[in-house]
Amino acid sequence: MDADTFAQFHEQLERYVRERLIPAEKDVIENDRVPDDILDEMKDMGLFGLSVPEDHGGAGLNMTQYAKIVKTMSYAAPAFRSIFSINIGMFNSALKNGGTKAQQDEWWPRIAAGEIACFGLTEPGSGSDSAAMATTAKPDPDGNGWILNGSKRYITNAPHADVALIMARTEKDALPKNAHVSAFIVPMDTPGVSTGSPDKKMGQAGSHIADVMLDDVHVPGDALLGGETGQGFRFAMMSLDNGRISVGAASTGYARRALDSALRYATERKAFGEPIANFQLIQQMLAESETEIYAAECMMADVTARADAGESTIKQAAAFKVFASEMCGRVVDRVVQIYGGAGYLAEYDAERFFRDARIYRIYEGTTQILQLQIAKHMLREYAAL
């Protein structure tokens, strides 16, 4: 999307977030779902196909534009970003990096039109440890397809997804570079695919996760992403770089929302005859939060510019996600403190911000796993000097 068109779209989206989505948050929280009319509006706006190429029905945003949109959407309740984030993030990234032309031609227009995707990597006994993956894909003895068996856990959008990208073991033993894992595009209405009840979570009302069960699921040969076995983990990791930038942008946008709320409360709330915003230790918490949000915004600008320039951003995407998610946790904690006793009550937004933000440090790679990844790349780069 050219710069002028994007600027207009971004301005329109900022108004939509403040005038439409934020007033709808109470409905989302009370009913634990994004209202159907808003979901339809988001599809009509093209939010489900932001990163899909324009010649396949999408907006064709680059990484810098994509992150700005995610950050803007994340000023509102997290459920609004979550419902389309897998489409424009991990699913589309895997399709772009590893899909065949036929797979792209089939699925890009469908997800751009609003079909909802989910991403099946994590299992009950396997998260970051792909060697422990138990889901299997075996050649169908009656044809050129595959038979999938296993289960996936904590899968965002699973209860209402139309399609899943499923990682499965195609070799018995863990081969070098995770070549035992392959990726499959699996429509959720395929016989043998089922989902569990949505899990009850600490926060992020309206955003649903659930188990995905695969019981003798037959898929055709062209369901294999890229048409080649042993590439699934590589595609997944490349997709997770995109997902980590998305979570970093979401953390940054939500931290800004929380800080704006704290500014408003500190200006209106009075103690000892004056607004608490006049107290220096309140100002310190506000200033620390502003400083950290600004740092995250600068990291986002850098990592997305690198991605748009064609650089590998494995280390930078991980660093941005770690800093932004941890920063958001610190900001929402300060916001609760600024609210004081009111910050502990569900009646006020601060309590919700605190619960919603906690997951950002966990999904798309925990802080600790990403710290290991960052250090690994540092040591590898040093050894190559």
Residues marked as catalytic: 364
Q: What b/e sequence results for 323-356 when a residue is b if at least 16 CB atoms lie within 10 Å of its CB, and e otherwise?
A: bbbbbbbebbbbbbebbeeebeeeebbbbbbbeb
Q: Rounded distance, CA 316 to CA 240, Å? A: 12
- Enter the tokens of residue 258: 């929380």
- 240: exposed, middle or buried (C-beta count within 10 Å: 0-12, 13-18, 19+)? buried
Q: Rounded distance, CA 323 to CA 294, Å? A: 12
φ, ψ of residue 187 in degrees (nearest 5): -60, 140
Distance, C-alpha 323 to centroid of its chain: 16
- Enter the tokens of residue 252: 């940054």
> How many residues are present in the chain?
385
Q: Rounded distance, CA 31 to CA 247, Å? A: 24
Radius of gyration in angstroms for the set of CA atoms belonging to the chain, rounded to a whole number:
21
| Cβ-based neighbour number of residue 56 at 10 Å | 18
Give kind and range of the element (H or E) at residue 215. Answer: strand 209-219
Give kind and range of the element (H or E) at residue 149. Answer: strand 146-156
Of the CA atoms within 13 Å of residue 139, those in its CB half-sphere come to 7
Give kind and range of the element (H or E) at residue 243. Answer: helix 232-268
